[in-house]
A and B are shown apart, each in its own frame.
Chain A
C-alpha cells in the first residue's frame, strides 16, 4: 500500500483495525448510509402498519417475474464484483479490468430495468402524490426508496467506471478495487431489503 498521510505512520501507535484508512472510512460511510435506508424502511413499515386504508396487493400491480429478474441481475453483479476483487488481490490486471467492465454492464442493465419498471408503474397511473390502488404512501415510498437506491447504483457504476479507468495496463490499485467493491456489495444488499420489504411482504 503506498499512501501519503499527514501523519507518518511509523511514528504512531498501531491502528486498532489493521486495514487501510480508505477502507475504514468506507465502512464508516456504509454504516451511516445503512442507517439512512433503515430510516426509510422503518418509516415505510410504520406508515403501512398505521394506514387506515388498505395497502395495495403488490403481486397484482408489479410483474413479479420481472422484479425477480432484476434482483437476480443485481446479485449476479455482486458475484462478478467479488471476482474482480479476487483477481485484483492476485495481481491479475487483465482479469480485474474484465470483471470490472462486466460489473459495470450488469449494473447499467439493472438501471435500465428499473427505468422500465418505473415507466410501467407511472403508465398505470402511479404518481408521487397518489395512485389508483389505495394508500398514497404506497407509490410515494416506492418512488422515494427505489429512486434513492437507483441513485446509489448509478453512483456505484460511476465509481466502478473510475476504478476501471484508473486500473490501467501499467498499474493495479487492488485496495481501491476492494473499497469500490465494498460499496457495490452494500448497494446490492440494500436492494435485497427493499425487495423483501416492498415487493414480497
Chain B
C-alpha cells in the first residue's frame, strides 16, 4: 500500500512546521521541551546560587519567589510533560502499536500549536511589569488571587493562568487523541494485553490527565474571576492590604488547594508512569529476557492510577484538616506502595536469569530503577501525616519530589532518547560522550536530592530567601555549597548531551532498522521511519511484546512481535 507515501507532505512548512505526522510532532515537542528545559535549568542555577551565597543578594526576595514559581511551572508542565508525555508519547504510540499515525493527526497538530503560545506566554511573563508569577507552581491564593499582593501577582500571574489554560486545552486534546489511538489503531493481532508496557503507561497517563485536569480548569476560571471579577471564591473575610480591609467575604483558600491537588497528585503519575514504562521496555531489550510479570504490571498500573485519584489530601496535612480525614489520606497513600512495589519488583526481577548487555540506554534504565526505590522510600515518610507535619515545609519534600517527578522522568527520557535516537534520525549517538554524560549526570543528581533529604531532616526549610538569618536552620546550611557545586556539574553535563544530540543527528554512526535487536514493532519499521511508518503493509502481530530467549545464541535470541508482509 503506497497510499501513505503519496500523501507525504512536500513543502518545508507542511513537513516540519505545521506537520500532522506524529513523529515530527513528537520531535517538535521534545525540542520545545529541550529549549524550555534550558530556561528551567538556568532558573534552578540562580535559585541555588541565591541559597548558597545569600550575602551577595544576587536576586531580590520578590524575584526569588518568582524564580522558584517559574522553575516549578516550567519543569513540571513545559519540560517533563512536554518531553516525556507529549513528545515520546506521540513518537512512540503509533510506532509501537503498528499504526500509520495517531487517530486524529490534525488534532495532534492543533495540540502542539496550542502549547507553543503557552510557552511564549510563560517566557513573556518574565518581561512584564512586576515580573513573573510568584505564588508557587501551585498558585495558591491569596497570593495568586489578589493582583496587588506581591509584584508577581499582577500581570505575571494573569499570564501564568492564561498559559496554564492553553496547556490544559492542549493536554486534553492530546490525551483524548492517545486514548482514541490506543483503543482504535492497533495493528492486527495487537490485543490490549500484547501492547508494550510503554503504551500501557501512556494509556493510563492519558486517562489520568483527562480525568484530573478539568477540576483545575474550574479552579483557574474561579481564580480569574477572583482576580478580575471581584468575586470571593478563594478569598476569606478580613484580608487587610496596606491599611485597608478588603471587601472580600465568604471564600476559602483551602478550596483552591483541594481543586489544585485533585489534579496535582494524579499529574505526578501522569509524568512518572511513562518513565516507568520506558524503563520496562529498555530493560527487556538489554536484559534479553521477557519482562517479569507483564500482567501483574499492567494491573498494578491500573490500581496505581485509580489510587492516585483519591489521595490528593496528603499534600494538605498541614492545613489543619480533621485528623480523621488525614488518617484516611495517609492510609490510602500508603496503599499505593503495594502496586508500586509490584512494579518495582517486576523491574528488578526482570534482571533475574538475564543476559545483560551494558549498552548506553541500559545505564539509564538501571539508574532509573534505583531512583524509583530511593524516591519511593522518602515518600513513605511524607505519606504519613504524623511525620509529614514535621517534614512538610522542609527540604525533605524538595528532595523527595525532585527524585520522583524530576529525576525518574528525566533519566528515563534521556535513556529513551539514546534508545530511540536511531528510529528518529537513522543514526546512533556517540557512545563515549553518552557514558560521560551518564556518569556526570547520574551520580551528582542523585547526590543532590539525597542530600536535600538530610538538610530537611536537620530542619532546613524550603522557599526561604536567606536561611542564614535564622538560628534554628543553621544545621542544614553546611550542605548547601556541596549541593550547589553538584548542581553546576549536572547542568554542565547536559551541554555534553545537547552537543551529542545535535552532532549525532548529522554525523552519528548510521543505524540499521533494528540496531538493538529489539522486539517491539517500531524496530520493524525503517530507521528513520518514513511518513506512514511502514513503506508497505502494516505489521501483523503474533506474539507478546518481549519474546527474548536468554538461552539462545546471542544473535538469534529474539523474535519480533510482528512481521511485515
Residues of chain A touching chain B, judged by Cβ–Cβ distance below 8 Å, are 5-8, 11-13, 15-17, 21, 24-25, 28-29, 31-33, 35-36, 38-40, 42-43, 46-47, 50-51, 53, 128-130, 135-137, 140, 144
Contacts and interface: CB of A to CB of B under 8 A. Distances in A.
B259 interface: yes
8 contacts: A6-B100, A12-B99, A13-B541, A21-B103, A28-B180, A46-B252, A47-B255, A129-B231
Interface residues of B, number: 55
Contact of B211 (A35, A53, A130): A35
Which 10 pairs between the two chains have the least Cβ-Cβ distance?
A39-B218, A39-B215, A35-B214, A36-B214, A129-B230, A13-B186, A15-B184, A140-B231, A28-B176, A6-B101
B5 interface: no
Contacts of B254: 50
Contact of B217 (A5, A11, A15, A36): A36
A47 B258 CA distance: 12
A118 to B, nearest CB: 15
Nearest to A55: B250
B551 to A, nearest CB: 31
Given A32-B213, A47-B251, A135-B250, 14 more contacts: A6-B100, A7-B99, A12-B99, A13-B187, A13-B190, A28-B179, A32-B211, A38-B215, A39-B217, A42-B215, A128-B225, A136-B249, A140-B231, A144-B221
Nearest to B189: A13
B75 interface: no
A8 B1 CA distance: 10
Contact of B538 (A11, A43, A130): A11
A135 B225 CA distance: 17
A136 B189 contact: no
Contacts of A137: 232-233, 250-251
A74 B105 CA distance: 36
A12 B186 contact: yes
A144 B221 CA distance: 9
A105 B231 CA distance: 34
Please report whether the interface of chain A is mostly helix, strand, loop or mixed according to DSSP.
helix
Contacts of B433: none
B233 A47 contact: yes
Contacts of B231: 128-129, 136, 140, 144
Contact of A16 (B192, B210, B255, B258): B192
B462 to A, nearest CB: 28
B191 A13 contact: yes
Contacts of B357: none
B218 A17 contact: no
A123 to B, nearest CB: 19
B229 A17 contact: no
B165 to A, nearest CB: 12
A15 B191 CA distance: 9
Contacts of A16: 183-184, 192
B347 interface: no
A143 to B, nearest CB: 9
Nearest to B219: A39
Given A24-B183, A128-B225, A144-B225, A39 B214 contact: yes
Contacts of B1: 8, 11
Given A11-B537, A12-B187, A13-B191, A43 B259 contact: yes
A136 B250 contact: yes
Contacts of B210: 28, 31-32
Nearest to A43: B255
A17 B231 CA distance: 44
Contacts of A53: 249-250
Interface in B277-325: none
B222 interface: yes
